[in-house]
Amino acid sequence: MSDALLEVTVLGPRDVPGAEEGRADRLHLVGAGDGTHGLSPEPALVSSVCRETDLPVFVLLRLNDSWTTTGGELTRLVGLAEDYLRCGAAGVSFGFLDSDLLVDTEVCRHLADSLPGVPWTFHDAFDATLEPARAWRQLVGLPGLVAARSAGSPQGMAVGYDDLLATAQSAPEVARLLMPGTGLLAEHVPWLVQAGVTQFHLGRQVRPGASYKSYVDAGLLRSWRLLLDHTMTRTVAG
């Protein structure tokens, strides 16, 4: 087993067996939507997933299709997060931008401060920011933040990979937080690991037909697990 962390998007309890058998380290639970972005699930769904697994479950906090939120929504998000934690969730996932498409540090810090000691990830709202370098500086140091998911571009890693890799190579604090996501390919993994990246997110890649209509497949996920562990071992040994 390597020190790499592999997070997998799940939509419900039927995704849990494949995620466990494929050796995921953490589940990212998303409610309504296609799984790529999605919205917050109902607490009952969180409870049903948490009952099926001992893996840590992080749950998405997002109530509308934009990357912004309102004061009223913010209060509701805090309440939802508290419900999720009571249902067995280990952490949450959220990410908000302001009207200038910069990280809304006020909102993010309010949520983090309202959930003391609760780990959270900044989801791929990051890729909608207009100033990625500034966004990374804004994220570093936010309380409770354990990862920031990014593909380097709103179009995914097919477009953003080169920029994302260059950023990770030039900034160790970014490599520490970075969790590559949308569009991640197996060929990207060795280079990202060499840059110091140790967290990876998978969604469509571990579903037959790359469709969220399919459940997480243990065989597909296991191939990623083996690749990641092998790469990490070789990198450490080298």
Residue 163 has pLDDT above 90, yes or no: yes
Mean of all residue pLDDT scores within the chain:
92
Q: Which fold has domain 5-237?
A: TIM Barrel (3.20.20)
Give me the mean pLDDT over the 225-233 stretch: 94
Cβ atoms of 55 and 27 within 8 Å: the answer is yes
Residue 35 has a pLDDT of 54
| C-alpha 120: how far from chain center | 9
Query: What's the predicted TM-score (pTM) here?
Result: 0.94
What is the longest distance spanned by two Cα atoms in the chain?
A: 52
Q: What tokens does 32 get? A: 């309504």
| C-alpha 160: how far from chain center | 17
Give me the mean pLDDT over the 143-168 stretch: 94
pLDDT digits (tens, 9 = 90+) for 75-129: 999 999 999 999 999 999 999 999 899 999 999 999 999 999 999 999 888 999 9
What gap in Å lies between CA 117 and CA 194, rounded to an integer? 30
pLDDT digits (tens, 9 = 90+) for 33-63: 665 678 899 999 999 999 999 999 999 999 8
Cβ atoms of 6 and 184 within 8 Å: the answer is no
What gap in Å lies between CA 25 and CA 50, rounded to an integer? 14
Residue 181 has a pLDDT of 85
User: What is the residue extent of each domain of the chain?
Assistant: 5-237
What residue type is 94 in one-letter code?
F
- List the one residue out of 117, 232, 122 whose CA is nearest residue 181: 122
